[in-house]
Amino acid sequence: MRVKLRHDKHMALYRHIAEEFRTRIAKGELPPGTRLPTVRALAREVGTTRLTIHNAYRELQTDGLIESVVGRGTFVSSQAQPTAQPSFGERLEPDSVLSDLHRLQHTRVLHNLALATADPALFPYEAFWACLEAFKPLAREVFGYGSVMGEPELRVSLSELLEQRGVRADPEEVLVTVGGLQGLALVCRALAEPGEEVLLEEPTYLGLLGILKQFRLKPLPVPLDAEGPRLEELEALLKRHRPRFYYTIPSYHNPTGLRFHEERLKRLLELGQTYGFTLVEDDTLGLLSYEKIPPTPLLALAQKMGLEDRVVHLASLSKALMPGLRIGYLVAPPVLLERFTALHNVSDITGPPPLLQRTAAQFIRQGGLKQHLRQVIPIYKKRRDVLLQALKRHMPEGVRWSHPEGGFSCWVSLPRLFSNLELHHQALAQGVAITPGEVFLVQADETMHFRLCFGAETSEGLEEGVKELAKLICLRVSHERA
């Protein structure tokens, strides 16, 4: 039995071996009752120690996938069955697709290119846990209700983090939220009433579309080009409508991965001043930069231009650190901040648990976040490069894609060869998860799109996933030409 190993230095060898067997069992290539190689034989074939194979087999046995019979050998368990096709992609709606994405985190697919998230294998567990232990003597304090605005220590650390990126924000101007989505929900509730219109980029962040639907707000899409929002079309909308705010992701836009040009952003700020609307900047991915010079946040540009009262700055630690902390934050002009805080107080009383807030503050203060980013950014950059090279190598003529300089997302476009969700379902049948592009759009166009994410998948998984996708697309192209 030939064992194909994924070479990822961040995963132990025995886990590589166990994952290979899991994959084959899930695909039905190793049906129940199949006899597996002996420990000695597999160790010789792979070129490793018998202890490594023992550990791999033990993990599979713990999961109930294999069983050993004394005197006979090791077999695929009678309880191990091929993974049934998950019921994903039943509706092309933001809430349905978001639900699918959350379930994909706990579903075994061969190549998960759907999730724009950090790799859990790279989380700084030990360093963060060391900070956590330091608060054990303060248990009475950290297990009570926290401050409405957020723990003072965290707001100081976030203020310093923002200053490093060119944003002036006193700790009193920072509001801690439960993840980035809560901050976005506060903005929508505070700045608009049901039935009113808001501007957003086309495509845009999937979570925003779900919030707009929940609060019955009407989206006005502004198309993008390689430099950012098309300002002529934006101004045409502004002359016909009176939108409450403009939601923008200028630093490594999700889902396209684009970085907007600074001159385009300055002009956007001028339009905000001229037409009197608020710019809501989502900077969640701004720290994940693969460039020598990271982008300047929109709020920093606004402060240089004296237009800071036009900008609300949203961000979180979900992508740059760990999503389970549920720590987001926003910076806003005093009048708006007071409104956000009042709504926050009524609906949520407090933000993330004080224990996690204080631990995150200490972790940042001790240089943990900076060290973590130094370690993971080269890994994510390499995965980005592998994805782009695989697209270039395998995709047929007529398929185009973005070249993200940061973040986790790549936007792929092609002629409309498939009906809605058809490619999505065909890819899942081959063990490849992608996100259908239509769900990021207010209005579908004649071009088909999908999002590929590279943060949480290995280099080998990215290569294989793109190869399988390319096969499906090439097959459809051949049928169209026949």
Residue 94 has what pLDDT?
Answer: 59
Residue 317 in domain: yes
Q: Are 449 and 418 within one domain?
A: yes
CATH code at position 34 = 1.10.10.10
Q: Model confidence over 209-227: pLDDT tens digits?
A: 999 999 999 999 999 999 9
Helix (H, G, I), strand (E, B) or coil at 254: coil
What domain range includes position 108?
94-123+371-481
Q: Are 70 and 102 within one domain?
A: no
Q: Are 323 and 199 within one domain?
A: yes
Helix (H, G, I), strand (E, B) or coil at 329: strand
By DSSP bridging, strand 66-69 and strand 73-76 are antiparallel
Q: Model confidence over 264-273: pLDDT tens digits?
A: 999 999 999 9
Other residues' Cβ atoms within 10 Å of the Cβ of residue 418: 18
CATH code at position 475 = 3.90.1150.10
Residue 68 has what pLDDT?
Answer: 87
Q: Model confidence over 92-103: pLDDT tens digits?
A: 565 666 566 666
Please tell me the distance from the alpha carbon of residue 165 to that of residue 281, in angstroms, as a whole number. Answer: 14
Q: Model confidence over 129-183: pLDDT tens digits?
A: 999 998 988 888 888 888 889 999 999 999 999 999 999 999 999 999 999 999 9
| Residue whose tokens read 């600074």 | 262
Question: Is residue 210 left, alpha or beta, with left meaning phi > 0 and alpha meaning psi from -120 to 50?
Answer: alpha
Number of domain units in the chain: 3
Last residue of a domain, one of 369, 402, 434: 369
Residue 263 in domain: yes
Last residue of a domain, one of 349, 369, 389: 369
Q: Are 52 and 164 within one domain?
A: no
Q: How many helices (H) and strands (E) does the chain have?
A: 17, 16
Residue 8 in domain: no
| Residue whose tokens read 């995965």 | 383
Residue 84 has what pLDDT?
Answer: 47
Long-range contacts at 460-463 (CB < 8 A, ≥ 24 apart): 460/6, 460/7, 460/8, 461/6, 461/110, 461/111, 461/112, 461/113, 462/111, 462/113, 462/383, 462/386, 462/387, 462/390, 463/386, 463/390
Q: Are 212 and 351 within one domain?
A: yes
Average pLDDT over residues 95-115: 67
Give the contacts of 393 (CB within 8 A, at least 6 positions apart).
none
Residue 85 in domain: no
Residue among 168, 97, 137 at smallest CA distance from 311? 168
Last residue of a domain, one of 337, 369, 401: 369
Distance from CA of residue 26 to its chain's centroid? 26
Residue 358 has what pLDDT?
Answer: 95
Residue 302 in domain: yes
Q: Are 243 and 364 within one domain?
A: yes
Residue 316 has what pLDDT?
Answer: 97
Q: Are 119 and 265 within one domain?
A: no
CATH code at position 153 = 3.40.640.10
Residue 462 in domain: yes
DSSP 28-50: TSS-TTPBPPPHHHHHHHHTS-H
Q: Are 329 and 428 within one domain?
A: no
Average pLDDT over residues 460-464: 93
Helix (H, G, I), strand (E, B) or coil at 159: helix
Q: Are 313 and 426 within one domain?
A: no
Residue 1 in domain: no
Residue among 317, 382, 315 at smallest CA distance from 175? 315
Q: Are 362 and 378 within one domain?
A: no
Q: What pTM value is reported for the model?
A: 0.80
Q: Are 108 and 212 within one domain?
A: no
Contact between 14 and 52 (Cβ < 8 Å): yes
Residue 332 has what pLDDT?
Answer: 96
Residue 66 above 60 pLDDT? yes
Residue 88 above 70 pLDDT? no
Half-sphere exposure of 94 (CA within 13 A, CB side): 15
pLDDT greater at residue 453 or residue 7: 453
Residue 437 in domain: yes
Termini Cα distance of the chain: 39
Q: What percent of the chain has pLDDT over 70?
A: 91
Q: Are 207 and 143 within one domain?
A: yes
